[in-house]
Each structure stands twice: as C-alpha cells, then as structure tokens.
Chain A
C-alpha cells in the first residue's frame, strides 16, 4: 500500500509538473475567437459573403441552373462581364441599361430586353426570351436577393463587383424552410412554389422549355401525370429533350401537394 501511495504521489507530481509548466512556464496565447459567422443580416455582411449568398441563390432558390447549364438551354453566364457591354451596343438591344450592373438587373426582371441569338422562344425570331421574370411568379426573388445574384454574376463573370449591399433585412434563405412545415393549400401555390411556370405554360405563366400544360387533362390521365412528376424521364413528350426537368419533385413535394397538383392538372381540359 505504501508503494501504491508513493507511486501515485510521484505520478501526480509529474502530471502537476507538466501542468504547471504549460500554465506558467510558457506564455499563454489566447486564440482568436472564430470569425463571425455568415449572417443573413445584410448589414454585417462582407462583399465575399454577399457574393456567396448570390451563388447560393443562383444554384438554389433562383433555379437559374435549370437552364443556364451545360445542356445549352440558355446561354452560359461565365463571361457575362465582358459580353454585357457589347450587348448593350447591339442593334437588337431594347433596354435602357448603361452599366453591367444595370444590364444584369434588367435581364433578370425583363429577360426579353436582349435575347441571345438562338435562345429565343421558338417562333419569335429571338425577340422574346423564354426566361421568366425572376422577381415574379414561382421564383420570387426580392430586391436584396436580386442584388446578391447580380453580385455573384459580376464576380463569376469576370466583371468588377459594383453592387452595393442593400441595407435591408435578410433575403429569405430561411423562409422556404419555414414554409415547408405546412402543406400548401391550392394547386396554384404548388405551381408557384415549384416554379413549374419557368418551363411550362401553366397558370398564367408562359414558360416554353417544357410541354404546354394548359390543356393537359385532355390527353393524359392521372397515372401518367403522377409518373411524369415523380420520374420525369420515364416518358419524354414529342419535340422535347430529356434531362431538363428536375427528378427531385418526388422528394420535395408532400403527398397532399402531389395529389392536389395531379388532380388539378388532370382537370385542365
């Protein structure tokens, strides 16, 4: 027993020695607190964070990459900073923008101000753009989000970022999460939320990337429609290419919403 105590005492003494040296033998450096977290409070946001937010909206809520992707449905925007000034000088330009920032803003809210050759709505001879106004309808970006997207496009498109961070409350990156809690009540809301109108002609919107759905109930039954929503690639309508419609609606929509939408679509005759 005496040995045990001796050994314990010795060990504690050694631990104490190391502890003492670490606490008093060397200078104590207090590590810096972690950098301030990316907040949705725009007032406290740096430009980098604002640009990152724009990127998030561009890839997420804004649904921009549905079309602005490598599949060639819409022009790529990686050089928008350099081509925008040329476009503003183009004879076909109908807008009023004077700077890259204004041009980007304009093309987001009035997409038809300039239509890149070959990307117009079919039959309009490139005078009308298939792109929806991102502030309205299903996408519904607010001014702050719009500014963030413009900042992101300027940053990634090789232009100088000129957008000022708006001094207003946060864009609703959190909002959709809250809205998901309760199922939507009307089919119109479902269509708006999942931005069907960005691609389809439906509920007063004039999307032209996918089939016209205004009279879809005439030719298709509920089973077909349900399948088309859950697994868009199963049957591709004549005249359209596959791989455009997101295959993720089955996971995003609530059962009630899905059935409501199917019933609504089947009723369009």
Chain B
C-alpha cells in the first residue's frame, strides 16, 4: 500500500481543475516505486526492444556523409587510443629494466617515449569526444539503445578518464621528482596504475563494440534483460581484448620506431645518431616481440567468430571479405619483411657480425617461401583460358595451400625464422665463453629442427588427413611448439652468452638510411593494416547496427566494397600520420629555448 504523498493532497485540493501536471509526475514516480517494492520477480525494469528505424530517423548534415565521418573519427580515435594504451605498457617495462640494471639510458628512453606520447592523450580524448558527438548526431537511436544497456559502464568510463588523466600527469610530470630509492618504486607503482586504468578503459569500450557484433543479455527483439555484466561479457569480448592488447603493443612499438627513425635521419651529430639508433632498435624489438604472438591472437578471434556464428565466419573468410585477407597477407608480409630487414641491417653495427651474413639468405628464402604459402588465396583469380586449362576452379597443387592448415604451418615458420633472425643479431658480435658452448649450440639446433619438423607434421597430417575438429585443434600444438622453441632457446642463449666477450666494438649509429625506411614501412603498414581490419571487423555485421537485432536502416546500410574501404583507410592513415607528426613535433619544441636578447626590459 503506497499512496504517493506528493500527489494525494494535490488531487484532494483541486477537484475541478484537473491536476494535469500532477498525474504524469505521479505516473512517473509510481513506476519506479512499484518496481522497487513489488515482488522480486516483477522487480525488473522493463526495457524496450531494439527500435525499428526508417531512413527518416537518421539526421543528415548537408555535404557530410554520416558513415564516412563516424568511420574516420572512430578509426582515428582507435589509432590514437591504441598508441596511448600501448606506450605506458612498454614504458613501464623499460623503466623497470632501467631499475634492475641501474642503466640510466633506459630511464631516459622511457621518459622520452612517454613525452612524445603525452599530447596524443588529449588527441585521443578529443577524438573520443568527437566520436560520441558524431554518434549522437548521426545515429541517435543507436546511441540511445546502446546507452540504455551500457549506461553504467559508460558513466564509469567517463569517470575512469579522470583517473587516467590524473595518474598520467603524476606519472609524467613527476618523473624527475620521483627518482631514486623508494620514490622510484612509487613512480613505478603509478606506471602500473596507469596501465591498469588504460587497459580497463579499453576493455569497457571493447565491450560496447563486441556487443554490436555478438549481442548478449538481449532477446531476439533486442529487449535487454537487465544484466549488464552479461552484456559486457559477450561472446567476442575476451577474444577482442586479447587481440587488441597484443596488437596495441606492437603498434605502439612501430610508431615509436618511426619517431626514432625520423630523429635518426635528421640527427646532427654522432651522439644523437647513436642514441636514436639505439631507441629505434628497442622500438623495433618491442614491435617484433608483440608481433610474434599476434597471429595466434588473430586466429583465436577468428575461430571464436566462427564458433559464434557460421554465417559471420563464412562472410568473413569466404564471402565478400575473402579478398581482404589477401590484402592483409600482403601487409603482414610487409611487416615481417621490414622488421627482419631492419635486424639484418643492424648487424652492420659491428664487424663481428660479418660471419653471420652468409646465413641471412637462407632465412630470407624460408621467409619468402612461407610467405608465398600464406599469401596463396583459396579462390584463385583465373582467366578463362586458365580455367579451361585447369579444368575447373580448383588447382590440384596450389589449392592445398589455400586452406588454414597450410597457412598455420607457414605462419609458424615465419615466426620461428623471424626469431632466428633476432638470435643471429643478438649473438652476432659475441663469442660464448662458457665451456658447454658447443653442446648448447647443438641443443639449439636440435630444438629448432625437431620443432620445425613437429610443426610440419602437425600441419600436414592433422591438417589434411583428419576432420576439421582436429584441423583447428592442431594449430594449438603448432603454436605451442613455436613458443617452446622461442622460450627454451632464449633461456639457453641467456646462460650461454653470460659473460661472453665481444668480437668487435659495437657502433651504435652505424646504420644505413635504408634500414630507417624499413622502420617507416613498419609503422605505415601497421597503421594501414589496423584501419583495414577495423573495416572488416565492423563490416561483418553487414546491414545491422547490432547483429541480427538492431537493423541499420540508413542509406549507408550497405557494406562498402574493398576498394572503397581502401580509399577511406588510406585517407585515415594520411590524416593520422599528419597528426602524429604534429604530436612528435610538439615534443621537440617543448625542449627548445630561444634567448631573445633585448626583448625583455632589464630588471633593475
């Protein structure tokens, strides 16, 4: 029994003058009250289903294509977001390395990285604001629907941004204040906190995105059941989270690498060259280290998409988007080849590395061969005469390379040999002095040989002679083999080269100009690749705002073709590069002091 006090007296007092205003107030107040105090079963708030829109529901601004605007802004936000989430991760690690080794160079480099990215934070936030503005402006009903489901997490997101900024500013501005002893530990803790908040922010935003792909906690009509956690923890949330964290680190590394490369090219003296060569080397190392597990995260994500919906999976891999993976293969090929090339060039820093030079060509052969297998499409583009000659669209030999097991095997080879490049680089200038060096070497060779044979057997036997369950499952032991090779080999190497003596002095800064362009290629390819994959991730929803629940009724509901997407991605990449150059430029002018003599009046 709950008569609302606010409305009873009004109703009593005004008999004739119908309290038109009081009734809605009462009605409004009554609903939540009823919800709160009624039996628990009926306690749930009733959510509306996903709206069915028409073209008229989408506001337009003359001369602005709503989709392209949202697309570009979202992509730019993502690029910057990825960069600023990633930088603190490796800054934290580099700072810790500096603390362990008490090598101040690391501390300086970490500070430089955070310094160049500091302006990128505000750009990320500005772009994020612009993105939500564009969404509210161009897709108000979609935003309203998402806000209904994610209202708590959106609010938390906004608040977390304060925390992020606060921690970041303390971390950055307090860098030289919190130095030495316990203060350094405090500083490092802030670094950890910064990362935690940054990653949490990204996970929240990922939840909204993945909800649109694999909606959860809603029924077929889009009625929300009130369980926010279920909506956040939807089917593709974790796969995307993993994929993005790993990719962000690699991406951040590549951008910082481009920064170092540019500083290297425009360096005026040898100290500067040496410093930025070293910074570039470390950035490339970060990029490669994160690039190694990235294909696996990608395969996991794709497998989960297939598991979520066969339709989504086939749309992705076999339908309209089939060719995108050929472009992706080219881009990833560019990434791996340029990263390797940079390592090979880096061997020129010391005379001691020459003895390894003849081996590089074998690595190159394996890399290119593995890459060709990876690149071979499932559906070949054939001219009619070729079609006739082959007797059908199936190629008896190349067809074998078209499917997943071949590509999994190829990618594991690619990774193992990229790691081998890195090993060669590491030991190029050193001679092991431990007594068991020969045994250690033999063990490593055996490890690589057995591992590679295992990868081939797994790929060929399980890939082609068993059913698909094992086919997919076989990629896991393949990955494990690669990881074991990498880890065990690193461990052996660490012990074997402890106290090793240098063959010749290492000349930081003795690096060709070509190699620096390899770093640029890395950054450009990575940016472009992210843009492309962002298109496909969003595109597989096809004409849905929220897959199979909330339909896109705007004139732009159609899925754009690859060429069109490539145009947008290219434009986005160029805008992003321009903005990044601006950010980097800002970081350089902040250190410049001009003494303007005779400008200020003399103080007595």
**Minimum distance in angstroms from B563 CB to a CB of chain A:** 4
Query: CB within 8 A of B11: which of A34, A223, A231, A251?
Result: A223
Q: Which residue of B lies closest to A59 (CB)?
A: B221
Asked if A11 contacts B31 (CB within 8 A), the reply is: no
Chain A positions 18 through 58: 1 when the CB is less than 8 Å from some CB of chain B, otherwise 0? 11011100111111111101100000000000000000000
What residues on B are CB-neighbors of A222 within 8 Å?
A: 11
What residues on B are CB-neighbors of A235 within 8 Å?
A: 1
Task: Report B's interface with A, CB cutoff 8 A.
Answer: 1-3, 8, 11-12, 18-24, 26-28, 30-31, 34, 38, 42, 46, 52, 261-262, 265-266, 320, 322-323, 326-327, 330-331, 381, 517, 520-521, 524-525, 528, 532, 542-543, 551-553, 557-563, 565-567, 569-570, 573-574, 577
Would you mind naming 12 contact pairs between A and B with Cβ atoms under 8 Å apart? A3-B265, A10-B521, A14-B521, A14-B525, A23-B562, A27-B381, A31-B558, A223-B12, A250-B27, A253-B27, A255-B20, A256-B23
Asked if A258 contacts B262 (CB within 8 A), the reply is: no
Query: CB within 8 A of B323: which of A29, A223, A248?
Result: A29
Asked if B327 contacts A22 (CB within 8 A), the reply is: yes
Chain A: interface secondary structure?
A: helix
Q: A11-B524, A18-B566, A234-B1 are in contact. Are A31 and B574 (CB under 8 A)?
A: no
What residues on B are CB-neighbors of A259 within 8 Å?
A: 18-20, 23
**Minimum distance in angstroms from A202 CB to a CB of chain B:** 21
Query: CB within 8 A of A31: which of B18, B20, B52, B561?
Result: B561
Judged by a CB distance under 8 angstroms, whether A203 is at the interface is no
Q: A4-B266, A247-B34 are in contact. Are A28 and B562 (CB under 8 A)?
A: yes
> What is the CA–CA distance of A33 and B553 in the complex, to the nearest angstrom?
12
Which 4 pairs, one residue from A and one from B, show the smallest C-beta to C-beta distance?
A: A34-B543, A22-B566, A255-B23, A250-B27
Judged by a CB distance under 8 angstroms, whether A237 is at the interface is no
What residues on A are CB-neighbors of B330 within 8 Å?
A: 18, 21
Which residues 165-196 of A have a CB within 8 angstroms of B?
none
What residues on A are CB-neighbors of B520 within 8 Å?
A: 7, 10-11, 14
> What is the CA–CA distance of A34 and B551 in the complex, to the nearest angstrom?
10
Interface centre among A30, A31, A251 (most CB of B within 10 A): A31
**Minimum distance in angstroms from B8 CB to a CB of chain A:** 7
Asked if A14 contacts B262 (CB within 8 A), the reply is: no
> What is the CA–CA distance of A37 and B26 in the complex, to the nearest angstrom?
39
What residues on B are CB-neighbors of A243 within 8 Å?
A: 42
Given contact pairs A19-B570, A230-B27, a sample of 18 additional A-B residue pairs in the complex whose CB atoms are under 8 Å apart: A3-B262, A14-B520, A18-B528, A19-B569, A21-B330, A22-B532, A26-B323, A26-B327, A28-B563, A29-B322, A31-B560, A230-B26, A231-B2, A234-B2, A251-B27, A255-B19, A255-B27, A256-B20
What residues on B are CB-neighbors of A37 within 8 Å?
A: 551, 553
What residues on A are CB-neighbors of B528 within 8 Å?
A: 14-15, 18
Chain B: interface secondary structure?
A: helix
Q: A15-B528, A22-B566, A255-B24 are in contact. Are A230 and B1 (CB under 8 A)?
A: no
Q: Which residue of B lies closest to A248 (CB)?
A: B46
Asked if A15 contacts B573 (CB within 8 A), the reply is: yes
> What is the CA–CA distance of A29 and B319 in the complex, to the nearest angstrom?
9
Asked if A34 contacts B558 (CB within 8 A), the reply is: yes
Asked if A26 contacts B326 (CB within 8 A), the reply is: yes
Q: Which residue of B lies closest to A249 (CB)?
A: B27
Chain A positions 214 through 236: 1 when the CB is less than 8 Å from some CB of chain B, otherwise 0? 00000000110011001101110
Asked if A231 contacts B23 (CB within 8 A), the reply is: no
What residues on B are CB-neighbors of A227 within 8 Å?
A: 3
Interface centre among A26, A226, A258 (most CB of B within 10 A): A26
Query: CB within 8 A of B562: which of A29, A32, A230?
Result: A29
Q: Which residue of B lies closest to A23 (CB)?
A: B563
Query: CB within 8 A of B30: which of A21, A31, A35, A231?
Result: A231
Q: A18-B525, A255-B23 are in contact. Are A29 and B320 (CB under 8 A)?
A: yes
> What is the CA–CA distance of A253 and B30 in the complex, to the nearest angstrom?
13
Q: Which residue of B lies closest to A38 (CB)?
A: B52
Q: A250-B31, A259-B18 are in contact. Are A29 and B23 (CB under 8 A)?
A: no
> What is the CA–CA distance of A6 and B532 in the complex, to the nearest angstrom?
25
Asked if B11 contacts A230 (CB within 8 A), the reply is: no
Q: Which residue of A lies closest to B323 (CB)?
A: A26
Q: Which residue of B lies closest to A6 (CB)?
A: B265
> What is the CA–CA distance of A70 and B557 in the complex, to the nearest angstrom?
40
Q: A33-B558, A222-B11, A256-B18 are in contact. Are A12 and B563 (CB under 8 A)?
A: no
> What is the CA–CA distance of A230 and B22 in the complex, to the nearest angstrom?
13
Interface centre among A6, A11, A259 (most CB of B within 10 A): A11
What residues on A are CB-neighbors of B12 within 8 Å?
A: 223
> What is the CA–CA distance of A23 and B327 in the complex, to the nearest angstrom?
10
Asked if A18 contacts B542 (CB within 8 A), the reply is: no
What residues on B are CB-neighbors of A30 within 8 Å?
A: 561
Asked if A27 contacts B23 (CB within 8 A), the reply is: no
Asked if B34 contacts A15 (CB within 8 A), the reply is: no
> What is the CA–CA distance of A248 and B42 in the complex, to the nearest angstrom?
12
**Minimum distance in angstroms from A15 CB to a CB of chain B:** 5
**Minimum distance in angstroms from A220 CB to a CB of chain B:** 14
Asked if B525 contacts A19 (CB within 8 A), the reply is: no
> What is the CA–CA distance of A26 and B256 in the complex, to the nearest angstrom?
32
> What is the CA–CA distance of A6 and B261 in the complex, to the nearest angstrom?
12
What residues on B are CB-neighbors of A3 within 8 Å?
A: 262, 265-266
> What is the CA–CA distance of A232 and B565 in the complex, to the nearest angstrom?
55
**Minimum distance in angstroms from A128 CB to a CB of chain B:** 32
Asked if A35 contacts B543 (CB within 8 A), the reply is: yes
What residues on A are CB-neighbors of B567 within 8 Å?
A: 19, 23
**Minimum distance in angstroms from A44 CB to a CB of chain B:** 15
What residues on B are CB-neighbors of A6 within 8 Å?
A: 265
What residues on A are CB-neighbors of B266 within 8 Å?
A: 3-4
Asked if A34 contacts B542 (CB within 8 A), the reply is: yes
What residues on A are CB-neighbors of B525 within 8 Å?
A: 14, 18
What residues on B are CB-neighbors of A28 within 8 Å?
A: 561-563
What residues on A are CB-neighbors of B261 within 8 Å?
A: 7
Asked if A31 contacts B320 (CB within 8 A), the reply is: yes
> What is the CA–CA distance of A34 and B320 in the complex, to the nearest angstrom?
13
Q: A15-B524, A223-B8 are in contact. Are A7 and B262 (CB under 8 A)?
A: yes
Which residues 134-171 of A have a CB within 8 angstroms of B?
none
> What is the CA–CA distance of A31 and B524 in the complex, to the nearest angstrom?
28
**Minimum distance in angstroms from B24 CB to a CB of chain A:** 5
